[in-house]
Chains A and B, each alone.
Chain A
Amino acid sequence: MKNKYIIGGFIIVLFLGIMGYLFTQSNIKYENNLALVKSTHKTVKATGSWVKEKKYTYDSENNLFQFYMKDDKGEEMLVVYRGAMPNNFESATSVVVTGSYQDNYFYAKDILTKCPSKYQEQPAAQSSSL
């Protein structure tokens, strides 16, 4: 029975070790306080809502989509996303952006929009990449 435990144990320990390491390195926290998001360069999933008064822009030449989001305390930040406006964006009430805060804007790798309208349960849409 020894061989079984040595080989099996070795693989499990090795990969769980690498996994544990990668997990602590690359795990991303959900953060709904934008002041905290702005204070770090770490990759986070910032949650908040789109500031409708400040319109979004899409620069098709550079394929950059920009908009402002704010948290429930009113803290705002500019979000820049390389890609097109996600489906559902205009009707979204809450937005989850994954990325990190650079000098004066949030560079999003991924945008997830949620539309829990008062009247309709709506599906979420994501602009996803692989």
Chain B
Amino acid sequence: MIGSIILTFALVFSIISMIMYFLNFKGYRNTISYARIFYHLCSIFVIVASTFLWYYLLTHQYQYKYVFSYSNNSLSTGLLLSSFWGGQEGSFMLWILLTVVVGIILQSYTSKRGDLEPRVMTIFTLAISFLLLMVSPWFKNPFEYIWVNPIFVDLKSINSIYLDLPFLQQFLFPDPQTNTTYVQVSSTLFASLVQNGIDPNTFIVNGRGLNPQLLNFWMQIHPPILFIGFAMATVPFAFAVSALMKNEYKDWVSQSFPWLLVGTGILGLGIMLGGYWAYEMLGWGGYWAWDPVENSSLIPWLIGVAAIHTMLVQKKSQSQSEGIGRYAKTNLILSILVYILVLYSTFLTRSGVLGDASVHSFVDPGMLAYLFLIIFISSFTLLGLGLIVYRWKYLKSEVPQDEGLFSRELSLFTASVVLCASAIIVFVGTSAPIVGRSVDISFYNEMHVPLAIIVGLLNGLSLLLKWKTTSTQELLSKSVIYLAISVVVTVIIILFGGVNDIMMILLAFSSIFTIIVNGEIAIKIVKNNFDKLGAYVAHIGLAIFILGVIGSSAYSNEKTLNLVKGKPTEAFGYQMVFTGYEPIENATKYAFNINMNKDGKTFNASPVMYIAEYNNSLMREPSIVVLPTKDIYIAPLSYEQTGDHDHSGSVSIEKGKSVKYENITLTFEKFEMGSDVMQAMQEGRDFQLGAVLSAISDNKNISFILYRKQSGDKVEFTSFESKELNLRVELLNLSAQGVELSLSKLDEPKETVKKEAEEVLVVNASIKPFVSLVWIGVLVVVIGFFIAFSKRLKESQLSN
């Protein structure tokens, strides 16, 4: 309750701040101090609300639906803290929290730069207001009580002292499929509890917990970093719109540039961490699956990078006294699109439209939230693009001269166009499920190879071109040496690396060209001008990344192996031996140890498999052996023990049904359950379940009971023999569906074709050459972004 109130206040403050900032922009001078006070109040309230959510999670207050749905008693403190963003409501909260923090820095930044603050902060507080509306009680409120809407809660999560309450019976729902009983928690139950003098807050004592795939280190850092990127995407939007508001397009470029650089850098890092998580933990087999959720954050990143290139030109041409500079319209449009696409990404992943298409599943948010998201996106699209249309006439009058064909301006613009083309392709492919279509992964891969080749060539070429214009002769004489070196290196790669696909050769060539041109310049300037290094570092990183992609995906080798325990199997030149499994992490998971041997060197891999209680499913975690030139990636598939159990010849009988065996009719009459079985199951005590069976032949009728006895983790089954009927009945399994029996005659010795027991581990092994270049490449790119940021931050101060 208190959380919702705080958030509502934050929303009100945010709206007041927005109005005050807008009035200040309209000329009311004294409103600015109110605007600032209310903005800071809004920030403080958001921070306090977030603290409350964290506090509720840490103290297990399961009366809050969010806390119940995404945490439980067994989570470590780190994971409890990160369950904050385990669900939709909380990830909106995280987004808001990071946005208000970015806003505090932005407020201070803009207040030092002319009359920027009222315009930028009007737009920024507008965005915050929309986000705060999203977590208001009408939509996705993280502070909703569990009683509000009916929800099924596992009986195990209920405080055991209340289990005997008579009125509880009417809220119980057994689920025979999973052998669990659920309590329907609703406002009616809440009323009954209060009536009986029970504190409802003590009723639920455990939560559902997090999806097991999220229970690791990456959950703690990937989402926050990604959301910092999302939060920072608001800033270029606010700057572009504020330029349109004032109808003045010169200064905003320098002022927005450092924000765009650092925001794009962080978003890129967040995307990469997601890829690394998928590779290292989730066992997707790769780092990029063109999954809609990955794609939808890639699209704004591509547009952001495109904007960086054209903004650089605008800045440069301003300094060469070309008025507002080149590509002013392009920059406005791209800056606005970055944020709109972030919103679109949210829409795609939160609205349920991709229900059938994504690994990441997000529960249908409900019609109201769906409509609100659409209103959110439409408002910002109308505001941003509408203002551009409104100012179009003026913008068109500010046309600089045509750029030369061989000019750095045009090559940077072309790079930006190529990035936009890539963004459009990903956009179309990702949005296809909305119209009931879907594209294959090959669609993205095939489209991006030629784009990447062009990017690589432009990357080197643009640096050989001078601003304004370059003579053809000069260009040729300059580039010939670089091209020659690139050709030589590419030939070496073809000969020694076995690269033979024409597209891959071109791609390798263009990446090497990039590295050589950028590398040479970087070495030249590193001594006296570290500041200017950013672009070159980022470009070299990109080229390294592309080489890594070529190696790891185009030349990856994959095999499914059946590893019999103790028997060496040969794969990729390695002797692999499965040596057995061992329980890890308090016996919640099992590590399957594999020894790999090559040329006297031994490596160990331990892929992990376990049954997750959360969703009752088999979960798998790969194991990766990282070598200097390649990764050996071992993804477990299954583990089987053969021979020690012969289930053939077994029969299943549902309750009340019969089967015929020889001349005997065997009927499963009913379950036999002690009165305290339920209680015992919950408390984890030993218990037994029985099945009452009857065997009828001619005029003999014998009734007997078979038991499934559980003590600790051990399960035993009983059997029954009758000389009269010449029958042996062994219980193999007993579940809500019925019993599984093995039937045999007493006078015929039971077929014990015990094969020699074999333990087989099935794994998918792959060799991924130079996959480490992918990570190194992206990190180098990010470092480049940060170097460029520090330079442009200084410039943004100089301009005032």
Contact = CB atoms under 8 A, between A and B. Distances in A.
Nearest to A6: B405
A45 B437 CA distance: 9
A80 B361 CA distance: 25
**Max count, chain A CB within 10 A of own CB: residue among B420, B454, B620, B637:** B637
Nearest to A121: B363
Nearest to A93: B177
A4 B356 contact: no
Contacts of B560: 63
A12 B417 CA distance: 7
B735 interface: no
B762 A60 contact: yes
Interface stretch (B8-16, B163-171, B281-289, B741-749): B281-289
Interface residues of B, number: 69
A12 B423 CA distance: 11
B356 A112 contact: yes
Interface residues of A, number: 52
A19 B429 CA distance: 9
Contact of B762 (A26, A84, A114, A117): A84
Nearest to B410: A3
A25 B418 CA distance: 23
Interface stretch (B238-246, B249-257, B396-404): B396-404
A39 interface: no
**Max count, chain A CB within 10 A of own CB: residue among B180, B440, B638:** B440
A45 B421 contact: no
Given A16-B424, A91-B617, A124-B361, A7 B762 contact: no
A19 B208 CA distance: 44
B285 A43 contact: no
A22 interface: yes
Interface stretch (B24-32, B443-451, B536-544): B443-451
B760 interface: yes
Contacts of A121: 363
Interface in A1-38: 1-4, 7-8, 11-12, 15-16, 18-19, 22-23, 26-30
Interface in A48-93: 58, 60-61, 63, 83-85, 87-91
A43 B440 CA distance: 10
Interface string B179-191: 0101000000000
Contacts of A1: 399, 402
A84 B440 contact: no
29 contacts: A2-B402, A4-B403, A7-B413, A7-B417, A11-B421, A11-B454, A12-B417, A15-B451, A19-B428, A22-B443, A22-B447, A23-B443, A26-B440, A27-B443, A28-B438, A28-B439, A29-B437, A30-B433, A30-B437, A60-B760, A63-B560, A87-B617, A87-B619, A112-B359, A124-B358, A125-B617, A128-B359, A130-B287, A130-B441
Given A15-B421, A45-B438, A60-B562, 10 more contacts: A11-B421, A19-B424, A19-B447, A23-B432, A84-B762, A91-B178, A91-B617, A124-B359, A128-B291, A129-B284
Interface of B: 152, 173, 175, 177-178, 180, 182, 208, 211, 213, 284-291, 356, 358-359, 361, 363, 399, 402-405, 410, 413-414, 417-418, 420-421, 424-425, 428-429, 432-433, 436-443, 446-447, 450-451, 454, 553, 560, 562, 615-620, 637-638, 640, 760, 762, 764
